[in-house]
Structure 1
């Protein structure tokens, strides 16, 4: 990390510890915050207990055991953080956020730096002998009401299980569908569909006929049958919805403190925790997006960008939004960090930045290609290079 970014990290950590900043330090932190909306969004997330907790859970799941042990130590040893007249829970998340900044450092801060733009050459690139292929099978799992976990790939075609009076079926093309008479279900049972990194996109049809496409590293929790006056689901990651119309039962998607309400429409939700904002993109129909006291109504072609507030992008590129569902990566000015996060999820690889790379990309690349072909295309810009070692991709100039 260069000296400037090291200083910014130190200032954020000092702020989280409630240590007083000098006038010059406060001026430096304010200047960084005002430099871009992305900086403000990052700072807001690092001071949000819910985001810190979720991010640390993600880091822990990626074998960050040492970091987690440090957090536990900070929680059980008050001297690990600056004394504060606040609850133990407050001490916990401040310590957690402090360690998160220290661990994530360069990756979190470099993420938001602007750079030059260079188009990707749309050429066919030969693949090297050692390679990481695109996902060929579904690694998704269904967790039933009783906690039993079922691998979707292991299910046979046809009816596989009953929840209440609803059947779980697998179609010939690998889709999962819930079928049955909603009125015959007397209790609310929930299932969870989890699609991990390195897994194909999976399609789910709910009992009401709503269709959902779940991207990699995503999860959705839903009732087996909608027995109440509303239809509510919870999700993480990214999903595309084609909601069955039912004016009497609004359909509500909840994610990261945001609620999206519709009666029947098509929309995409990108709620990955490591992205700058939660984005709701409307293709047809209408949706209401709410967070706290803020509520907006979208028209087709608009996108709600949710942070502390909700901003509407009236000229969202829906082809780019839907590229993942349609089998491609679509880059239209994305920086290297946004680009590599997409590759990391799809190919289940870890990314290590050897140094700051100021590069943006333009172009479309099939998600069916092996990762070497994608990296070679990115390298045609001439400003970024990659080295693959097992499941680790190193990025350097």
Structure 2
């Protein structure tokens, strides 16, 4: 027996409890027309009966009870497909989640120093391929990796006036990674997980120093002899400084941009507002509005020192940070408002981290399925 694609789609929705009333009606009509002659092995019957309680089979109409023979008929119709294979059983079983045990959780380790650089030519370099205390010469630019793994840019003296050293480079970190870079002017940037920094290999003399950030970065801006401004572009915002230390959180999948000042002074501009920050102040840009608030800057820059710092932080933001660092999908039902204050080491495996969250009354667990799709759940 064949099942058309329309019915197959409804079946999948039914497994996930996402079918509409009209789709359920179509499925019931298809159900009643199943050929009684279809056969199924006793082994598959046993497996399907075990899944019955989870709503896979049978399709139960209101005020109507189906006998086992009808259940077997439906099972046969779904399993004995031409072209679609084991649509019912395999799809359902592969999606079923189980709570991961301590041994599995211990294998999910925290992030590391990892990134790539994309050059102006389009070539991408995996920075893991550059050894410590080694360098890479690209045109008129030298990229050096020190003992701590930080990348430093320097221009070859005889090439300062050539055009290629001003081309844009892109430093990009994946999930579960961060990286440090020293730009050609001496400015240090620590890039958090799943972030991207666009900058020139060498800043042109006499012009403002401009970089673009997506994600999160901590900046320690170096002053220049001619007091050139350093500017960071993010979505809907421009941050202007001379010499200072600050953090910007501007992830593409977030509805806000948060800029926090640790030292010095910065000017933050949006389309309609301009705010000057002093240390331990931050701006939040959301829905076009730019507001200023006081904060302990440590909570914003703690990630650069090996900790998650939380100050009355809601659970949705907490698990987003954790998800990026451990490269795991996250889920929070949001039914119970949860906030947390404190710090958690970033070098723990996921199992130890979950223990700490549970100890703090944040009910967390990690689940997986046969497709090895892992997820951190807070409810």
* TM-score, length basis structure 2: 0.66
Q: Relative to 1, partners in 2 of residues 1:360 and 1:185: Cα closer, same or farther, differing over 3 Å? A: same
Match among 237, 255, 263 for residue 284 of structure 1: 263
Say if 2:359 is the partner of 1:384.
no
Q: Relative to 1, partners in 2 of residues 1:334 and 1:155: Cα closer, same or farther, differing over 3 Å? A: same
Is the 1:211–1:243 contact (alpha carbons within 8 Å) kept by the matching residues of 2? Answer: yes
Deviates more, 1:362-371 or 1:349-358: 349-358
Aligned-partner Cα distance in 2 for 1:387–1:248: 50
Say if 2:345 is the partner of 1:366.
yes
Match among 118, 127, 131 for residue 152 of structure 1: 127
Displacement of 1:338 after TM fit?
Answer: 0.8
* TM-score, length basis structure 1: 0.63
In the TM superposition, 1:33-182 aligns within 5 A as 128-131=102-105, 132-135=107-110, 137-180=112-155
Task: Give the equivalent residue in structure 2 for 1:212.
Answer: 189
Is the 2:111–2:325 contact (alpha carbons within 8 Å) kept by the matching residues of 1? Answer: no
Q: Deviations over 1:65-103 (max 9, x none)?
A: xxxxxxxxxxxxxxxxxxxxxxxxxxxxxxxxxxxxxxx
Match among 147, 150, 160 for residue 184 of structure 1: 160
1:321 counterpart SS class: helix
Q: Which blocks of at least 5 consecutive residues in structure 2 are unaligned?
A: 1-100
Is the 1:165–1:185 contact (alpha carbons within 8 Å) kept by the matching residues of 2? Answer: no
Q: Relative to 1, partners in 2 of residues 1:342 and 1:267: Cα closer, same or farther, differing over 3 Å? A: same
Match among 171, 188, 200 for residue 193 of structure 1: 171
Aligned-partner Cα distance in 1 for 2:275–2:248: 15
1:369 counterpart SS class: coil
Is the 1:195–1:214 contact (alpha carbons within 8 Å) kept by the matching residues of 2? Answer: yes
Task: Give the equivalent residue in structure 2 for 1:319.
Answer: 298
Q: Which blocks of at least 5 consecutive residues in structure 1 are unaligned?
A: 1-126
Deviates more, 1:296-305 or 1:351-360: 351-360
Structure number with greater CO (CA < 8 Å, separation at least 6) is 1
Aligned-partner Cα distance in 2 for 1:383–1:166: 49
Aligned-partner Cα distance in 2 for 1:206–1:355: 41
Displacement of 1:206 after TM fit?
Answer: 0.5
Aligned-partner Cα distance in 1 for 2:325–2:331: 16
Aligned-partner Cα distance in 2 for 1:136–1:310: 32
Task: Give the equivalent residue in structure 1 for 2:9.
Answer: none
Q: Relative to 1, partners in 2 of residues 1:170 and 1:337: Cα closer, same or farther, differing over 3 Å? A: same
Is the 2:110–2:349 contact (alpha carbons within 8 Å) kept by the matching residues of 1? Answer: no
